[in-house]
Structure formats: C-alpha cells, structure tokens
Amino acid sequence: MRPIPSGHAIHLCLDMQLMFGRNGPWPTPWMERVLPKVLHLAETMPARTIFTRFIPPLHADDMPGTWREFYRKWRNITRQELPVEQLELLPELRRFVPPAAVFDKLVYSAFADGRLAHHLAERGASTLLVSGAETDVCVLATVLAAVDHGYRVVIVTDAICSSSDEGHDALMRMYTGRFDIQIELATAEEVIEALAG
C-alpha cells in the first residue's frame, strides 16, 4: 500500500466495549481474536487514536422513529437495565486514554452528530485507519460517512470483527468490489509499515 503520513492519520477504533465482549449482552465472538491487532495500532499511535463507545438511551422512547422499536425489542440494552460498566472500553484499551480520545455516540455512525468531523478537521486528519466492531453495523455506517467526508479510509482487516460471519464476509466483498477507489483494505502489519515509510 502507499505510504500513510502519520501526522495526518487517525486510528479510529469503534465500540470495543464490554457490552460487545464475551460476557456482554451483545457478544461479538471475534473481539478477543482481533484485540491484539487493535492494541498494536493503539500502541503505535496512542495520541492519534480515537475510541468510540456506543451509548444506548436510558429508555426506548428517548430515541426517534424506528430506534424506539429497536430498543423496545432490546430493552435489556437500554441504560435503565444495562449495568453502566458494560458501556466501558475493554480493560486492555483503557490505558491509552489519555492521550487517546473517546467519543460517545448514540447511533451507528461515529459521524452522525458532527463532533467527530470537527475534531478530525482540527487535527488535520486526512486518513482514517478503521478498527473495531461490528464490520456490518457501526464500522459500515462510519466508513461510508467517512467516504462521504472525503477521507482516505483504510479498513484494518485483521482488526475488525462482527457477530455475523456472513455479514462480515459480505461486507468485505462489497468494500473490495464496490468501493475499491475510496476504501482500502490492509492488515495491521501493512498499516504500521505504511506509517513508518
């Protein structure tokens, strides 16, 4: 892959939280498998890492439209029932904050409320190195929003995970087949080599 200017790159790690871990209410089995790669990226660029956290509403009716139906189905995920510690990052990642930043979000895309785009502009970011969960939900929504904002987007293939093998595989095919000009795929090792070069 072509070089990645480290001063203009941000490692954007999505929703690596206890609620999606092995013992969480929405377990993502691959999370433990990709965690070492996420850690390696965060260790390589701690001050240029941003972690997001998916934060459910207190009650289903606090959200608009179909989100209400979603949280009526998943009432156990609302903050009135979910233990607050489930919202936290995995313990292995917390040591990076600070200097890493944390952005909370209420919906799938990290760009939805405009704060992330403003923060990235302030930091002169032009490239996003995307890791985290889930390939076919929050990663998808955030990556497409990043494309809309014109960022160079690199999905770190061995640092993303999903609770659905079929969903993950389908999205990987879509990223390479439909978005090959705007979305790059690379392993964590390839990304770190590109940052050094």
We report the CATH number of the domain holding residue 48 as 3.40.50.850
Residue 88 inside a domain? The answer is no
Q: What is the arithmetic mean of pLDDT over 134-142?
A: 95
3-state secondary structure of 8: helix
Q: Does pTM surpass 0.75?
A: yes
Q: What is the arithmetic mean of pLDDT over 39-56?
A: 98
Residue 67 inside a domain? The answer is no
Helix or strand run (H / E) with residue 195: helix 188-196
Residue 61 inside a domain? The answer is no
Q: Report CA dihedral (172, 110, 83, 58) to the nearest 10 degrees.
A: -130
Q: How many domains does the chain have?
A: 1
Helix or strand run (H / E) with residue 89: none
Residue 176 inside a domain? The answer is yes
Q: Residue 196's pLDDT is what? A: 76
CB 161, CB 133: distance < 8 Å: yes
Q: C-alpha distances in angstroms, 161 versus 39, 98, 133, 168, 171? A: 14, 24, 5, 7, 11
Calpha distance 81→27 (Å, rounded): 17
pLDDT band for position 197 (50/70/90)?
low
Residue 62 inside a domain? The answer is no
What number of CA atoms fall less than 13 Å from residue 143's CA on the CB side? 28
Q: Residue 176's pLDDT is what? A: 87
Segment 83-126, tens digit of pLDDT: 999 999 999 999 999 999 999 999 999 999 999 999 999 999 99
Calpha distance 37→103 (Å, rounded): 21
Q: What is the arithmetic mean of pLDDT over 169-188?
A: 92
Is residue 155 packed enough to be buried (19+ CB in 10 Å), middle (13-18) or exposed (0-12)?
buried
Q: Residue 6's pLDDT is what? A: 87
Residue 187 inside a domain? The answer is yes
Residue numbers of the domain that contains 126 = 6-55+96-196
Q: What is the mean pLDDT of the chain?
A: 95
Residue 23 inside a domain? The answer is yes
Residue 12 inside a domain? The answer is yes
